[in-house]
Amino acid sequence: MTSKRLSRVLSHFLPAKSTPAATTSTEKAAAAASPAPAATTTKALPTFDELPHFKNFPGCAWSVWGENDELGTVNLLTDEVVQRASREEIRTGKAVSLNWALNFPDKPMFGRKSPEVHMKVREPTRITRDDEIHMNTQSGTQWDGLRHFGIVEHGVFYNNTPKDSLPMGIVSMPDPHDIDPSLKKIGIQNWADHGICGRGVLLDLVNYHTKGGTVPLPYDPWTTHGITVPELEACAKHQGVEFRQGDILLLRVGFTQRYNAATVPEREALAIEPETLAGIEQSDDMKRFLWNNHFAAIASDQPALERWPIAEGTVHMHQTILGLWGMPIGEFFDLEKLSKTCAETGRYTFFFSSWPLNIIGGCASPPNAAVSYGFK
């Protein structure tokens, strides 16, 4: 979505512009002597509390980008936002991948199928081989797409898409020029076509809480623990980070570090026993923090983003983040190397680039994510 279109869509949330007073010759002279203000890509968006309810759910953003929208908060990644991020953040050409190897975790959580990679000899008499991969797109590093999680109580996905309107099972598309619209609706191919690129921001909660590894982490990433808004704000302040509209927020809570240090029996038990995870708390304060900062996407190094199991008397944050906002949720991101680089340089922003698999009607995808550094 271009910045002009975004401005038109948001115009009904903004007060009418008043007619400016006539400019005097003195004011014209002063303006000519002063440098022009820097262009900004920030557009006014409604706050969380200004958004309408969807039945008993507050903070519904369906009206922000229109009833036919299939991008959600990825709309915030306009050409201008991406250009500014690339200009400010890409300076050295150095980059780091944020993708765990497709083979991991060897035993996925939440009952998902383990990836199967079949190495095949194509022709025994020649040196030619193929790979055949059978996987659940949410077994490892992933983006949760708009078809993954909706408003459970009301049976709809993002933008009031009825769950029964989206086909299930094996689908066939023999003609690329004549695809049933129901097969494409809110599929992850929309993000694959647009790209999820812009300024990334890492909040390294592990480094923050352990004071650079000098004291123990005050929680176990493999046990139920809710990360609060004050924690996130304090971490951002400690790192010298100021958010801006369209940022892609990455949270390091310590899951991958804990996994890498675990024994094989511990890892196997993790996939069998009921899931308990540290993650963002389920609260309206957290919803306000995420929406009012107008992040384009959010990801973490753990398998569910949010605290698991959810707190009693609350509902899944997935319902709001995906179902009401259309915000990509990243899980199992490998942030270990990025954490070290950010700690060494003291810089926690970078150019983030992700191109999901172009799966028509896909529910999720490996992110194919990487960051490019803006520091030497």
Instruction: Please write the tens of the pLDDT for every residue from 304-334.
Output: 999 999 989 999 999 999 999 999 999 999 9
- Which of 175-184, 196-205, 333-342 has the lowest average pLDDT? 175-184
- Give this prediction's pTM: 0.86
Ordered DSSP codes for 141-207 = SEEE-TTT--BGGGTEEGGGEEGGGS--S----S-TTS--HHHHTT-THHHHHH-EEEEEEEEEHHH
Q: Is the peptide bond before 328 cis (omega within 30 degrees of 0)?
A: no
**Whether 306 contacts 317, CB under 8 Å:** yes
Instruction: For 42-65, write each residue's pLDDT tens digit.
Output: 568 999 999 999 999 999 999 999
Domain boundaries, the chain: 74-104+138-169+178-372
- Look at residue 210 and tell me whether its pLDDT is greater than 90: yes
What would the mean pLDDT of 294-305 be, rounded to a whole number?
A: 98
**Average pLDDT of the residues of the chain:** 88
Sign for the CA dihedral angle at 118, 121, 127, 131 comes to: negative
> How far is residue 102's CA from residue 114's CA, in Å, rounded to a whole number?
10
How far, rounded to the nearest angstrom, does the alpha carbon of residue 152 sit from its chain's CA centroid? 21
How many CB atoms neighbour CB 320 within 10 A? 26
Architecture of the 74-104+138-169+178-372 domain:
3-Layer(bba) Sandwich (3.50)
Instruction: For 246-293, write each residue's pLDDT tens digit.
Output: 999 999 999 999 999 999 999 999 989 999 999 999 999 999 999 999
Map tokens 């957290």 to a residue.
Answer: 286
